[in-house]
Structure 1
Amino acid sequence: MIDIPEHMTSIKEAAELTGLSEDTIRYYEKIGLLPYADRQPNGHRAYSKQQIQGIIFLTRLKATGMTLEQMKNYRELAVVGKSTLDTRLQILKEHHLKVKQSIAELMETQRFLEYTIDHYIETDQNPDIHNHECDAVVSERMLAKHR
């Protein structure tokens, strides 16, 4: 978990805490994905702990494949308030299902890569094993193994 300071932070600090660039944060404000930050007397942006947490939440949604438009829609619903809770919950449940499916696909790819690596090591260590069309053989064996 990220340790977010209680005091207002600058856009530079917000960028460091969230992993986004300052330009990206400004862009997200411009398109309405983020609320405009408070301004200090000198005109510089100032972000609260709650705003930083909101930005981090958005970065996680984006990292898991949610589009900017979908995130913006979600945020607009959140601004409306409690009356949109069911809709927001449904959006998150649907996104969660997509994330779970992506994880399952990545795990299958990981198993395939591990099997392929093991096969190459075995082929390298046993010169009598022929390596003709190795990738096709590995793919076929892997598919047969999971049928």
Structure 2
Amino acid sequence: MDQNEQRTYTISEVVEQTGLTADTLRFYEKIDLLGSPERGGGRQRMYTSVDIGKIRFVSHLKRTHMPLKKIREYIRRYNEQDETGCYDLLDEHRQSIERQIDELKETLQIIGFKLEHFQEIKDGK
């Protein structure tokens, strides 16, 4: 393979690497979360490692409850090279994740307290 030639991946290979379904990848493409990949023989989608990196990043944002609308806005700003807009969106999302973590820690403490209580009951204390 030539240095300038980049390896491409089929949709099934991307599914295997990202854990997303082919339907999800097609949906993300349809709603402009992901650009349409190059097409190979038989019009088969051919993804690059750059595409896979973008897909993984979108997956992280989605997994941390960033709404698709916000992800789409981030992608648009990224494509427009609006670094300030990208920064602002990611910083806002970081703050949201930190709040989620705090809420989860609080819930974990309550569950821990309840478990201790039930263990004491089981132990006859």
Larger radius of gyration: 1
Partner of 2:56: 56
Q: Who is 1:124 aligned against?
A: 122
Query: What is the letter of the counterpart of residue 101 of structure 2?
Result: I
Which residue matches 1:132? none
> Which letter maps to 1:11?
I
Deviations 1:86-139 (A, max 9, x none): 11101100100000110111011111111101110101212xx5xxxxxxxxxx
Q: Could you say which residue in structure 1 is the equivalent of 2:15?
A: 15
Supply the distance in 2 between the matched residues of 1:99 and 1:18 (Cα, whole angstroms): 22
Q: Residue 28 of structure 1 corresponds to which residue in structure 2?
A: 28
Q: Which runs of 4+ in 1 moved over 2 A?
A: none
What is the Cα deviation at residue 41 of structure 1?
Answer: 2.1
Aligned residue identity for 2:116 = D
Q: Structure 2: how far apart are the matches of 1:122 and 1:87?
A: 53
Partner of 1:113: 111
Question: Where does structure 1 lack aligned partners over 5 or more consecutive residues?
Answer: 1-5, 130-147
Q: Distance in 1 between the 2:101 and 2:13 partners?
A: 32
State how 1:81-100 maps to structure 2 within 5 Å: 81=81, 84-100=82-98
Q: Structure 1 residue 68 and structure 2 residue 68: aligned?
A: yes
In the TM superposition, residue 77 of structure 1 has moved relative to its aligned partner by 0.7
- Percent sequence identity over aligned pairs: 31
TM-score by length of 1: 0.79
If the length of structure 2 is used for normalisation, what is the TM-score? 0.92
Residue 9 of structure 1 aligns with an amino acid whose one-letter code is Y
CA distance in 1, matches of 2:61, 2:72: 11
